[in-house]
Amino acid sequence: MFDLINPSRIFYWIEKLINFINSIFFILLIIALTFALVLSPPDYLQGDSVRIMYVHVPSAWIGLASFTVIALLSMLSFIFKIKNLNIITKSIAPIGLLFTCLAIITGSIWGKPTWGTWWAWDARITSMLVLSIFYVLFILAHKLIEKEDKAIKVSNIIAVIGLINIPVIRYSVDWWNTLHQPSSIKIDGTTSIHPSMLMPLMLMLLVLLLYCALILLMKYKTEIIRIKKKNIKRI
Amino acid sequence: MIQNFISMNGYGFFVWLSFAITFLACGVVYYKTYRTLKKYEKDFAKELSQLSEAEKKLVLEKSKVASQFLASYNKSI
């Protein structure tokens, strides 16, 4: 099974996948933006400010999902000692950080017309900020620790500790009284969002996921080339 | 109608700012990632081309990634 995540096997598909994503990305982006900015109706309470949801919510989901994947792969790497998993987690981390920061920033912009303030030390917002700190620590561990094995160990520990924060973020709106509204879409698939708003939300999520895949593939390829370049002299 | 679309009933500043920041940040990250990848590809190809024929043969035999890389890189240039 682990042969499937062999760099030489993945490397073969990277170029094909990058070309495929590039060929459909802009068409999907235009469709998603048309739905998000033109076709979807304004909210009866929040008016047109609700359109911020179409970038804020997918960003937050991607930020959370990326860290969960990093933590799970780090655990697998601990157990099975598969080096390739560390290359994948290292490639995902900047994407996760980008989208966590975007969720915080767009949330802050959405907060001004909705709550009347740019920032509040609210449980959801603060726990998202903590997540971004974990991302920074994970990336810094790879950048600042020179010995690769030690860097991998430290970053894996950071990822596993940071995993505790994920359920805190998820349930913060239920556990504490927060300014942030409760989840409108549950993990079991039930939703209180009208289909006219759900459709653009899912389209924007798809577009941003494709973007993530594109960046991940390019970063992964860069990492593989960097390692092979280092190994060339050894061969 | 266009005026309404831009002003978003008074929320235009917040909506457009959110979308602009998101796409600008994504654009910058894409550009930087792409540039870094191309730089590494170029350096790696240069290093491979500087090897002697025997060394190159050995590298390509031992590393599937290197041979796949060279094949796709030669196709792209």
Q: How many CA atoms lie within 13 A of B38 on its CB side?
A: 8
* Residue A1 scores a pLDDT above 70: no
- What domain range is A161 assigned to? 8-182+193-230
More confident residue, A182 or B11: B11
List Cα–Cα distances, A18 to A15, A157, A170, B11, B33, in angstroms: 5, 31, 32, 37, 13
Q: Structure tokens of A90?
A: 């290292």
Q: Is B4 helix (H, G, I), strand (E, B) or coil?
A: helix
Q: pLDDT (tens digit, 9 = 90+) per residue, A82-120?
A: 888 999 999 999 999 999 999 999 999 999 999 898 998
* Residue A211 scores a pLDDT above 90: yes
| Chain A nearest C-alpha distance from B32 (Å) | 10
Residues A104-129 as b/e (b if ≥16 CB within 10 A, e otherwise) read bbbbbbbbbbbeeeeebebbbbbbbe
What's the rounded mean pLDDT across residues A143-149? 91
Q: Are B34 and A229 inside 8 Å of each other by CB? A: no
More confident residue, A227 or A185: A227
Q: Find how far residue B7's CA is from the centre of its chain.
A: 35
Q: What is d(CA A22, CA A93) in angstroms, rounded to the nearest whole number?
A: 22
- What does the pLDDT read at residue A7? 66
Query: Looking at residue A52, which CATH number applies to its domain?
Result: 1.20.120
Q: What is d(CA A222, CA A14) in angstroms, rounded to the nearest whole number?
A: 11
Residues A55 and B19: beta-carbon distance below 8 Å = yes
* Residue A31 scores a pLDDT above 80: yes
Contacts of A55 in chain B (CB under 8 A): 18-19, 22
More confident residue, A61 or A187: A61
Contacts of A232 in chain B (CB under 8 A): 47-48, 51, 59, 66
Domain contains A112: yes
Which residue in chain A has the smallest CA separation from B55?
A235
Q: Which of A100, A216, A77, A101 is nearest to A160 (CA)?
A: A77
Q: How many CB atoms lie within 10 A of CB A92?
A: 23
Chain A residues interacting with chain B (CB cutoff of 8 angstroms) = 7-8, 11-12, 15, 37-38, 42, 47-49, 51-52, 55-56, 59, 94-95, 98, 101-102, 105-106, 109-110, 112-113, 208, 211, 214-215, 218-219, 221-222, 224-226, 228-229, 231-232, 235
- What does the pLDDT read at residue A232? 74
What's the rounded mean pLDDT across residues A149-178? 90
Q: Structure tokens of A206?
A: 């798809």
Residues A146 and A125: beta-carbon distance below 8 Å = no
Q: Are B40 and A59 inside 8 Å of each other by CB? A: no
**What phi and psi values does residue A143 have, to the nearest 5 degrees?**
-80, -40
Average pLDDT in chain A: 89
- What does the pLDDT read at residue A83? 84
What's the rounded mean pLDDT across residues A188-211? 89
**What phi and psi values does residue A3 have, to the nearest 5 degrees?**
-65, -25
| Annotated domain spans of chain B | 2-76
- What does the pLDDT read at residue A6? 67
Pick from A5, A11, A97 the residue to mutate for testing the B interface (most B CBs within 10 Å): A11
Q: What string of DSSP letters covers A165-203?
A: HHHHHHHHHHHS--SSPPPSB-TTS-B-S-HHHHHHHHH
List Cα–Cα distances, A194 to A44, A48, A191, A201, in angstroms: 12, 15, 8, 11
Overall domain count for chain A: 1
Q: Which of A79-83, A176-180, A183-187, B69-73 is the most confident on average?
A: A79-83
Domain contains A3: no
Of A11, A49, A215, the CB nearest to B11: A49
- For residue A10, what pLDDT band results from cuts at 50, 70 and 90? confident
Q: pLDDT (tens digit, 9 = 90+) per residue, B4-56?
A: 889 898 999 999 999 999 999 999 999 999 999 999 989 888 888 887 877 77
Domain contains A23: yes
More confident residue, B66 or A118: A118
Domain contains A205: yes
Can you name the residues that pair with A191 across neighbouring β-strands? A185
